[in-house]
A = this chain, B = another copy of it.
Amino acid sequence: MEIVPIGKIHTPFQSKSDTPIQPFRSQAVASVEVFEEYAEGLSDTEGFSHIILLYVFHRSSSYQLTVKPFLEDQPRGLFATRYPARPNQIGLSVVRLLRREENVLFTEGIDVLDGTPLLDIKPYVPDFGARDNVRIGWLEGKIATPQ
């Protein structure tokens, strides 16, 4: 299946070393530009406090099925990580929607490189994302959980 960018994400991050690891750590404001031909689909997005962005990890290339992720000494299975180099290089982030100006969404809490190709926008609803009694495997004790 062929996928096509529907827009572009503009962020302050020009290189991987600038980029926060997880979006909740980032206060950076991004502008999510949706190309004019898709802009009609943005109606009603402004009622949501958070949205999900799907995008391409456009600067990743070949992948390995076992990786040594950031924060970790041991090699781990790729699908137990958020490592960007993957068989399908698709990333997702939940971000706060600050406002919409026509075909541009201003968002907070972004963690991607400037110029990242946008694939989709979905509304964030707690039914989708929030879960109780969560275990986080090898990440236990390695990341701060905000709640």
Contact = CB atoms under 8 A, between A and B. Distances in A.
A93 B52 CA distance: 12
A129 B129 contact: yes
A52 B81 CA distance: 11
Nearest to A56: B1
Interface string A130-146: 11111111111001111
B143 A125 contact: yes
A136 B136 CA distance: 27
A49 B135 contact: yes
Given A54-B88, A56-B1, A135-B49, A77 B128 contact: no
A79 B42 CA distance: 5
